[in-house]
Structure 1
Amino acid sequence: MSCRLLSADLGTTSLKVMILNGGGQVEGSVSEPVHTYTDGENHEQKPTEWWQSFGKACRTLESRGIGLDVDGVVCTGQMEDFIPLKNGIAETAVLYSDIRGSKGLTKRHLSSDAVAAFTGNDWRATTPLMKWLADEFPEQWDHVLFGSKDYLIYRLTGASVCDPVNGTVTGMMNIHTRAWEEQLWQGSGITRNQLPRLLEPEEVAGYVLKEAASKTGIPAGTPVYCGLGDGGAVTLGASVHGDNDEGYAYTGTTGWTAVPADTLTLSEEGSVFHLAAPQQGRFIKIMPLINMGNVHQWAVHTWCGGDFEAFEKLTAEPDSMPGSLLFIPYLNGERNPVIDEKARGSFIGIDGQVTHGHMARAVLEGLAFSLKQTFVQIGTTSSTLFLVGGGTKSRAFRQTVADVFQRSVQVSAEQELLASFGAAACGFRAIHKCSWKDAARAMQSVGEEDIIVTPDVSKKEELERKERLFIGAAGRMRGLFET
């Protein structure tokens, strides 16, 4: 079975566009940077810049002799955005890390049990931002999109769509019926005709318009599939590795722990989030972490002026770590395991012997401790931890995670492409009418050996002691910065 697909992955830091064929081979790929505009609590990006970068990437592929006459276009990307459109124009995209809408939580008219019954999630975990904007700025938008990939689809086809994976995080979709649930937004000012159509990931959203064809080089009339949010796309891509059904950890700018599931399991803390899986009737249990690669990047810039390799060397300098030194990595508030948007990071246990190298390594340990807490809470017991995302580029971080978990860490040789492979699987499934597993396998041909990192067992006892200290200290961060 063969086909050629253009797959685009629009994340928080970069846009990747590639051409794949039905054997999983990448014929060509281009990456463009994505800029975030941050001002205090405001975290926004410019949709027009996304579109310009997408057109540029497509034209670059074409200039390399890679034809854009594909059988379909499929996109994935960051979820939980709020992209208001007025008269068909989107001026801004408010990102999931923007916390201005948190006060909207106090305006819910449904009970928490009713919200959980519809959405599969604790009422505090669903996104209130669009409700807040509907109340505060109703004149500024008449339609809304919820994901970066949906904006690309809108520009390509003129269609306003959303997939069930991303629909989950809006707090307005019934996770069981995979349809919008009007009771969830009654009283907010939102109307159904302002929302995008919910389509399954393999459904056709529309066809490339002539105007879009002139901007991108993709032939007019090419089908564009709905695709899915990056949480679902990465899960599809990760499932290919060793028939991995034990879950994985994503360590990008932000992070998450994810496990496929057949049932919903609400926690008392509301920290286990559920996404509708690409497969109807299935779910993805996920625990999001706001602080991951962004904290690593902060540390690299703070101590090494942005020099990644210098930071790797810095973490290797100390022969040993002070037993009291801890780093709490909540620089941007946190959603797991401490649910506190106002939480902040801190070093604890500093004495006169602490060096920059100790502090750099403590940052990696803090991230690993935080990640491990999510795995414990979500109930993953696999002997090997499958790790994906940009954080896996760091040798020091891979080893630190292996040591803290005391498990082998497996990193896909093609892990940066997993979301793109997962998105392409939607198009392959649509064209060939095959199973999700066959589609995911067809669009991903692993040509290199995965990286396997084994834990240093000599560090087990000391790291377990520090982990207990970390859990206690992190728990005390809840509410500390409320005043």
Structure 2
Amino acid sequence: MRCRLLIADLGTSSLKVMIMGGGGQVESSTSEPVLTYTEGKRHEQKPAEWWKSFKKACRTLHNQGTGLDVDAVVCTGQMEDFIPVKDGRADTAILYSDQGGSRRLQNRHLASDAVTAVTGNDWKSTTPLMKWLADEAPEKWERVLFGSKDYLIYCLTGVSVCDPVNGTVTGMMNVHTRTWDEQLWNGTGISYRQLPLLLEPEDIAGYVLKEAAVQTGIPAGTPVCCGLGDGGAVTLAAGFQAGGDSGYAYAGTTGWAAVPADTLAMSKEGSVFHLAAPQKGQFIKIMPLLNMGNVHQWAVHTWCGHGNFEEFEKLAAEPKAMPESLVFIPYLNGERNPIVDEKARGAFIGIDSQVDESHMARAVLEGLAFSLKQVFAQAGLASSSLFLVGGGTKSRALRQIVADVFQCRVQVSAEQERLAMFGAAACGWKAVHECSWEEAGKALRGIDHRDIIVEPDVSKKEILVKKERLFAEAARRMRGIFDV
């Protein structure tokens, strides 16, 4: 099977556009920066700037000699946006990180267990978007979009759509039927006509309009897939690329473990939420960590002045006589798993007179690895390999420590920056060939990614198991200690 695709990934900091050739190879790619406007707790972007950047990216590809005559366009991008549209225009996109909205809708007319049964999550696990809908006067906008990629689709086709992955986090979608559920917003003044059409990721949302064709160079009439939010796209690509269904770990500014699930399973402790998976009848269970790359960056700046990353790598790589009692609890910013404790803070435990900065640097990375392993244990998962993605994978020391703590092979994607785009490509592949997800996955697995493989050091197993127990006990005893 062969198909040629134009794929766009509109994230919070950049727009990436690439052409994937008929055999799955990347013919050409380009990127444009994306600006965020902040004022206090308000975090917004300008949809008009998104569209301008997309048009510029398409012209860049064309000027590079890359034809834009493709079998389909498929997009992915940031989720949990609130993009009000009036008279065909969207002046602002309120981002998921925005905290300026009212919390009035947290007091729902539905009982919390009823909400969970329909959405797969409690209200605290859904986006703040719904909190805006009551206060931002629904009569002032005709329709709303919930993702950056949906705005690109709207500009290309004139059709407003949403995929089930992103639909989950709006708090308005029935996660079982993958349809909007009016009981979830009853009494807010919102109507079905204001909501986008819910489509499956591989469904055709529409076709490139003549005006959009003139502006972008993409031929009029080219099919445009619904695509999916970046969380679902990365999960899809990770599953295909790793060749398994054991989930993956994300080590970015924050972190999470994402595992496939056939049923919803809420946790009594910690913060666990679910997304509808790209595949019908399946879910993605997400266990977030507030502390990951942000803690790594703090450590780099603390011990290696001016943020010298390579210097920190050398410092933490293999210090001599690493104390068996030294552990670091990385809760600098509170934590959400394995317990929810907003007031939690970090701590070094087991410091003696032999501890130096190299020991402390390595303890920080071990603490992050222990924390990551806890969320996988929380999900009841153990595997002979771990697929690791995110900016934190640039650290050789962290990659090795994760492999040693998990005592399993760590696979790091060579396509970190484009992983979501490969997930989106699977949607386009499935749409063009009307094939199964498995067949689309086989096509993507055939691409030579040359991933990084890190094997665990079995000689460290015994000591790290002891330190992991110490870590877990210390973290348990610190629960609630900062409530005073």
Could you tell me the TM-score, scaled by structure 2's length?
0.89
- Give the corresponding residue for 1:440: 441
- Give the corresponding residue for 1:403: 404
Q: How does 1:271-310 map to 2 (within 5 A)?
A: 271-301=271-301, 303-310=304-311
Shift of residue 410, structure 1, vs aligned partner: 1.4
Shift of residue 162, structure 1, vs aligned partner: 0.6
Q: Is the 8 A contact 2:9 2:77 kept in 1?
A: yes
Partner amino acid, structure 2, of 1:404 = V
Partner amino acid, structure 2, of 1:337 = P
Shift of residue 414, structure 1, vs aligned partner: 3.1
- Give the corresponding residue for 1:109: 109
**Structure 1 position 318 matched with structure 2 position 326:** no
Q: Is the 8 A contact 1:121 1:270 kept in 2?
A: no
Shift of residue 25, structure 1, vs aligned partner: 0.7
1:117-166: per-residue Cα shift (whole Å, max 9, x none)? 11122343223x12221233326644322222112222222222110111
Q: Residues of 1 paired with 2:73 and 2:455: CA distance?
A: 39
Q: How does 1:310-459 map to 2 (within 5 A)?
A: 310-316=311-317, 318-323=319-324, 325-340=326-341, 342-343=342-343, 345-349=345-349, 355-459=356-460
Q: Residues of 2 paired with 1:130 and 1:296: CA distance?
A: 30
**Structure 1 position 27 matched with structure 2 position 27:** yes
Shift of residue 324, structure 1, vs aligned partner: 5.3
Residues 442/273 of structure 1: CA separation in 2 closer, same or farther (3 Å cut):
same
Q: Residues of 2 paired with 1:98 and 1:354: CA distance?
A: 41
Q: Residues of 2 paired with 1:103 and 1:351: CA distance?
A: 47
Residues 43/209 of structure 1: CA separation in 2 closer, same or farther (3 Å cut):
same
Partner amino acid, structure 1, of 2:248 = Y
Q: Is the 8 A contact 2:2 2:24 kept in 1?
A: no
- Give the corresponding residue for 1:205: 205
Shift of residue 198, structure 1, vs aligned partner: 0.5
Shift of residue 377, structure 1, vs aligned partner: 1.0
- Give the corresponding residue for 1:131: 130
Q: Is the 8 A contact 2:290 2:336 kept in 1?
A: yes
Partner amino acid, structure 1, of 2:459 = S
Q: Which secondary structure state, in structure 2, belongs to the residue aligned with residue 165 of structure 1? A: helix
Q: Which has the larger radius of gyration?
A: 2
Partner amino acid, structure 2, of 1:219 = P
Q: Which secondary structure state, in structure 1, belongs to the residue aligned with residue 28 of structure 2? A: strand
Q: Which secondary structure state, in structure 2, belongs to the residue aligned with residue 124 of structure 1? A: helix
Residues 322/33 of structure 1: CA separation in 2 closer, same or farther (3 Å cut):
farther
Shift of residue 110, structure 1, vs aligned partner: 0.9
Q: Which runs of 5+ in 2 are unaligned?
A: none
1:387-430: per-residue Cα shift (whole Å, max 9, x none)? 12222222111112112212221123334433211111111111
Q: Residues of 2 paired with 1:63 and 1:228: CA distance?
A: 28
- Give the corresponding residue for 2:254: 254
Q: Is the 8 A contact 2:264 2:283 kept in 1?
A: yes
Could you tell me the TM-score, scaled by structure 1's length?
0.89
Q: Is the 8 A contact 2:130 2:170 kept in 1?
A: no
Q: Residues of 2 paired with 1:207 and 1:409: CA distance?
A: 41
1:186-244: per-residue Cα shift (whole Å, max 9, x none)? 23343322221101111111222344334433223222110011222122212223531
Q: Residues of 2 paired with 1:156 and 1:231: CA distance?
A: 23
Q: Is the 8 A contact 2:227 2:424 kept in 1?
A: yes
- Give the corresponding residue for 2:48: 48
- Give the corresponding residue for 1:236: 236
1:32-57: per-residue Cα shift (whole Å, max 9, x none)? 34444456644444433333332332
Q: Which secondary structure state, in structure 2, belongs to the residue aligned with residue 380 of structure 1? A: coil
When structure 1 is superposed on structure 2, of 367-376 and 141-150 the one drifting more is 141-150
Shift of residue 481, structure 1, vs aligned partner: 6.6
Residues 231/18 of structure 1: CA separation in 2 closer, same or farther (3 Å cut):
same
Shift of residue 448, structure 1, vs aligned partner: 4.5
What is the aligned-residue identity percentage? 70
Q: Which secondary structure state, in structure 2, belongs to the residue aligned with residue 90 of structure 1? A: coil
Q: Residues of 2 paired with 1:53 and 1:328: CA distance?
A: 42
Shift of residue 266, structure 1, vs aligned partner: 2.1
Residues 431/316 of structure 1: CA separation in 2 closer, same or farther (3 Å cut):
same
Q: Is the 8 A contact 2:106 2:131 kept in 1?
A: no
Q: Is the 8 A contact 2:369 2:401 kept in 1?
A: yes
Cα root mean square deviation, aligned: 2.9
Shift of residue 246, structure 1, vs aligned partner: 1.6
Residues 141/354 of structure 1: CA separation in 2 closer, same or farther (3 Å cut):
farther
Q: Is the 8 A contact 2:270 2:337 kept in 1?
A: no
Q: Which secondary structure state, in structure 2, belongs to the residue aligned with residue 372 of structure 1? A: helix
When structure 1 is superposed on structure 2, of 428-437 and 229-238 the one drifting more is 229-238
- Give the corresponding residue for 1:122: 122
